[in-house]
Amino acid sequence: DGGITQSPKYLFRKEGQNVTLSCEQNLNHDAMYWYRQDPGQGLRLIYYSQIVNDFQKGDIAEGYSVSREKKESFPLTVTSAQKNPTAFYLCASRQKGNTGELFFGEGSRLTVL
């Protein structure tokens, strides 16, 4: 079945460590997105990519980095520069230029100890 796979589902990190969240899709979608979700704040856009080897900062990109070397993959690195990394992270994809909706993964919950 086509879909978006995020891993790991739960992740614990010590302060000062970088961590990478995986996002893989087999929907053949061009565009991929990373959102951060905190209670009461909805979803905030971190980074998005409309095509391979290109990506743009969203509203809260500081302390995060991404890469888009393959169409199927859009990993997110939470760096030690991110002041409050504990959150629920959601990856999504959709066809570029399409009025279609975003398709979401099941999310990754990161906890900084």
- Binding residues (CB under 8 A) for another protein: these are 4, 33, 35, 40-45, 48, 50, 58, 88, 90, 92, 96-102, 104-107, 109
**CB-wise, 75 or 80, nearer to another protein?**
75
The structure tokens listed for 7 are 């891993």
Strands in 64-66's sheet, in edge-to-edge order, are: 4-7, 19-25, 76-78, 64-66
**CB-wise, 17 or 100, nearer to another protein?**
100
Contacts of 67 (CB under 8 A, 6+ apart): 55, 74, 75
Closest separation between CB of residue 50 and another protein, Å? 7
CA 85 to chain centroid, in Å, comes to 13
**CB-wise, 18 or 62, nearer to another protein?**
62
